[in-house]
Amino acid sequence: AQSVTQLGSHVSVSEGALVLLRCNYSSSVPPYLFWYVQYPNQGLQLLLKYTTGATLVKGINGFEAEFKKSETSFHLTKPSAHMSDAAEYFCAVSDVSNSGYALNFGKGTSLLVTP
């Protein structure tokens, strides 16, 4: 089965600094990968996704992620953090096990942006 590991349950950056949230996956088949953002007491919103094709994927709110097969990684980046980026971020991989319908989520990374 596919799985995701998010390194760092909490990340703190200064406003204007680079945001880097790490995600590594394990998959026996070419993965479909996703990043979601969750603001307090809200549902998850899709930031970006990788399926096939270009390995650098651009999403909403200035975020992007790069699929690196050799490193089994899908790290999320943003050049300049904004206070409004403070939220919980989840990486997910599509499950192609027998059930075939689940997204396997990491445990999340809480991003704190300081002035």
Partner 1 sequence: SQTIHQWPATLVQPVGSPLSLECTVEGTSNPNLYWYRQAAGRGLQLLFYSVGIGQISSEVPQNLSASRPQDRQFILSSKKLLLSDSGFYLCAWSVREGKRHEQFFGPGTRLTVL
Interface ranges with partner 1 (CB under 8 A): 9, 32, 34, 36, 41-46, 49, 51, 90, 94, 96, 99-103, 105-108
How far, in whole angstroms, is CA 12 from its chain's centroid? Answer: 16
Min dist CB 57 to partner 1, Å, is: 12
Min dist CB 34 to partner 1, Å, is: 6
How far is Cα 45 from Cα 106, in angstroms, rounded to an integer? 15
Which CB atom, from 81 or from 95, has the smaller least distance to partner 1?
95
Min dist CB 42 to partner 1, Å, is: 6
Pairing assessment for the beta strands 87-94 and 109-114 based on DSSP bridges? antiparallel
Which CB atom, from 86 or from 102, has the smaller least distance to partner 1?
102
Which CB atom, from 53 or from 100, has the smaller least distance to partner 1?
100
Q: Phi and psi of 40, rounded to 5°?
A: -50, 130
Map residue 74 onto helix, strand or coil. Answer: strand
Quick one: tokens of 7?
Answer: 């390194």
